[in-house]
């Protein structure tokens, strides 16, 4: 008899974290693995933020904070939403949680009843569908293709809506594709959704500051849809604060209250020190903050570098991303090819033919010592994800290894 609950037994592991763990273990055996699997900036947290965190310890911020976050932090986030996104969220409409992942989890748990449908544009970030399933919701996948720059159309959203639709998971800049929706594209989607006042859009904007096209656009900024949007953000990506675990939402008041209630039963609140540090992060204006600008411009340079290197690899179809720090090339042309007889992948997995994104990633991991994430984890088996949040030297070496491994593949299948 299975002792564990079905919800955990049937849940997929977070593949981004799983791949990173495999790479870590391989590294521990002495292999020189370059990990391009996890989406994590390789910068330090800005000094001013670290100082605020240290001060919070010295000032004895060591007691339970209010469940939705300290008042000064919620005020600072409210100011940030206005300054950066032209969104009016009062502090009462803001809930601070332990990472944007928990923010999304609480929104889904607060809104989805068993059997409710949640529209998930594909490729999606790995955790969306599993969170929906934990809530006993039904993910409804809407497929965006590389030909359409991995963006879904308003028509596709309209066709996916049924009387059971409750939520739409939405992200721009997108993880894993790095694509951005323009203001016009967001408006067109909002215009479809506004005709269904009981549908809520979860707008995941965690990559807001890593945008190479200019200003970030929030879907909540159109007045006619604002009451149907929960805007999710956090400090992990834009401020290189992944380990501080701070995410937040701006939401219609009744949703913020529901998330607050849930959070009160789950974590009580978010780490007091991290919250105080986040106040300092919110005060950094992205238009002038050197920390944010340096990070974005470094990612822009690396993106251009990796684009040229990836395009030079046979069998790779690559789109130029406009945000985040990922490439999501289509590598389906390599499927069906044989790995060489001396391949570590063939030995480890007893397989000689590349059958899909998982095989090709394992082949690159074992034969090229480069860790990536299989596209199937994001709902698209034709693609694989590269995170370029690492040094130029490592990126150049990783691309060299991957190219060499591709060149070693032999035509035809066994």
Residue 35 Cβ vs ligand GLU, minimum distance, rounded to whole Å: 11
Q: Is 246 left (phi over 0), alpha (psi -120 to 50) or beta?
A: beta
> Does residue number 21 form part of the binding site for ligand GLU (CB under 6 A)?
no
Cβ closest to ligand GLU, residue 18 vs residue 79: 18
Cβ closest to ligand GLU, residue 91 vs residue 323: 323
Cβ closest to ligand GLU, residue 16 vs residue 357: 16
Read out DSSP for 275-306?
A: HHHHHHHHTS-TTT-HHHHHHHHHHHHHHHHH
Residue 38 Cβ vs ligand GLU, minimum distance, rounded to whole Å: 5
Q: How far is 176 from 327, CA to CA, in rounded Å? A: 7
Residue 338 Cβ vs ligand GLU, minimum distance, rounded to whole Å: 31
Residue 175 Cβ vs ligand GLU, minimum distance, rounded to whole Å: 5
Residue 340 Cβ vs ligand GLU, minimum distance, rounded to whole Å: 30
- For 11-31, give one letter per residue: b (16+ CB within 10 A) or e: eeebbbeebbebbeebeeeee
Binding positions for ligand GLU, 158-187, rule CB under 6 A: 175
Residue pair 296/210 in contact (Cβ under 8 Å)? The answer is: yes
* Contact mark string toward ligand GLU, 109..128, x via CB under 6 A: -----------------xx-
Cis status of the peptide bond prior to 123, with omega within 30 of 0: yes
> Does residue number 12 form part of the binding site for ligand GLU (CB under 6 A)?
no
List 39, 68, 173, 234, residue binding ligand GLU (CB under 6 A): 39
* Contact mark string toward ligand GLU, 133..162, x via CB under 6 A: ------------------------------
List 7, 12, 13, 17, residue binding ligand GLU (CB under 6 A): 17
Q: How far is 322 from 317, CA to CA, in rounded Å? A: 16
Kindly indicate which of the ranges 13-21, 57-65, 194-202, 393-401 contains the residues binding ligand GLU, using the contact rule CB under 6 A: 13-21
Task: Fill in the DSSP letter of residue 211.
Answer: B
Cβ closest to ligand GLU, residue 128 vs residue 363: 128
Total site size for ligand GLU, rule CB under 6 A? 9
List 23, 33, 34, 38, residue binding ligand GLU (CB under 6 A): 38
Residue pair 73/246 in contact (Cβ under 8 Å)? The answer is: no
Q: Is the dihedral of CA 232, 236, 241, 246 positive or negative?
A: positive
> Does residue number 131 form part of the binding site for ligand GLU (CB under 6 A)?
no
Cβ closest to ligand GLU, residue 39 vs residue 329: 39
Read out DSSP for 219-275?
A: GGGSTTTGGGEEEEEESTTTTT-GGG--EEEE--HHHHHHHHHHHHHHTSS--HHHH
Binding positions for ligand GLU, 57-116, rule CB under 6 A: 101
Residue 107 Cβ vs ligand GLU, minimum distance, rounded to whole Å: 16
Cβ closest to ligand GLU, residue 190 vs residue 398: 398
Residue pair 111/99 in contact (Cβ under 8 Å)? The answer is: no
Cβ closest to ligand GLU, residue 101 vs residue 337: 101
CA neighbor of 372 nearest in space, from 346, 335, 399:
399
Cβ contacts of 304-309, under 8 Å, gap ≥ 24: 305/392, 305/395, 305/396, 306/386, 306/388, 306/395, 306/399, 309/395, 309/396, 309/399, 309/400, 309/403
Residue 39 Cβ vs ligand GLU, minimum distance, rounded to whole Å: 3
Residue pair 213/323 in contact (Cβ under 8 Å)? The answer is: yes
Cβ closest to ligand GLU, residue 127 vs residue 289: 127
> Does residue number 246 form part of the binding site for ligand GLU (CB under 6 A)?
no
Cβ closest to ligand GLU, residue 38 vs residue 219: 38
List 11, 14, 188, 351, residue binding ligand GLU (CB under 6 A): 14
Q: Please give the helix or strand (H or E) that residue 150 lies within, else none.
A: none
Q: Is 167 helix (H, G, I), strand (E, B) or coil?
A: strand
Residues that bind ligand GLU (CB under 6 A): 14, 16-17, 38-39, 101, 126-127, 175
């Amino acid at each position: 008899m299975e002792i564990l609950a079905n919800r955990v037994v049937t849940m997929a592991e977070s593949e981004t974290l799983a791949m990173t763990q495999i790479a870590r273990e391989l590294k521990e055996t002495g292999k020189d693995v370059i990990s391009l699997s996890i989406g994590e900036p390789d910068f330090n947290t800005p000094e001013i933020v670290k100082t605020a965190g240290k001060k919070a310890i010295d000032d004895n911020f060591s007691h339970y904070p209010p469940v939705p976050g300290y008042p000064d932090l919620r005020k600072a986030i409210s100011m940030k939403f206005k300054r950066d996104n032209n969104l009016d969220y009062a502090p009462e409409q803001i809930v601070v949680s332990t990472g944007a992942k928990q923010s999304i989890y609480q929104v889904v748990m607060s809104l989805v009843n068993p059997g409710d449908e949640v529209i998930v544009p594909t490729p999606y970030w790995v955790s969306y569908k599993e969170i929906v399933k934990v809530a006993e919701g039904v993910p409804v996948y809407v497929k965006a293709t590389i030909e359409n720059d991995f963006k879904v159309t308003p028509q596709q959203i309209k066709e996916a809506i049924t009387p059971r639709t409750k939520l739409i998971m939405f992200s721009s800049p997108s993880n894993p594709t790095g694509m951005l929706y323009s203001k016009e594209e967001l408006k067109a989607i909002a215009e479809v959704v506004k005709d269904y006042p009981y549908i809520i859009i979860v707008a995941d904007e965690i990559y807001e500051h890593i945008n190479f096209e200019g200003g970030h656009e929030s879907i909540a900024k159109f007045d006619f849809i604002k009451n149907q949007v929960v805007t999710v953000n956090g400090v992990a990506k834009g401020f290189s604060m992944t380990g501080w675990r701070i995410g937040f939402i701006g939401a219609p008041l009744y949703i913020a209250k529901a998330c607050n209630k849930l959070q009160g039963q789950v974590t009580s609140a978010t780490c007091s020190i991290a919250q105080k540090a986040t106040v300092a992060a919110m005060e950094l204006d992205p238009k002038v903050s050197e920390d944010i600008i340096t990070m974005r411009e470094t990612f822009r340079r690396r993106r251009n570098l990796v684009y040229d290197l990836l395009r030079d690899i046979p069998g790779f179809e690559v789109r130029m991303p406009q945000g985040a720090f990922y490439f999501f090339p289509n590598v389906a042309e390599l499927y069906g090819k044989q790995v060489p007889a001396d391949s570590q992948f063939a030995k480890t997995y007893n397989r000689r033919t590349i059958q899909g994104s998982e095989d090709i990633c394992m082949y690159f991991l074992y034969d090229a010592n480069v860790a990536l994430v299989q596209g199937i984890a994001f709902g698209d088996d034709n693609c694989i994800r590269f995170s370029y949040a690492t040094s130029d030297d490592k990126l150049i070496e990783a691309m060299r290894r991957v190219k060499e491994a591709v060149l070693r593949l032999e035509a035809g299948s066994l």
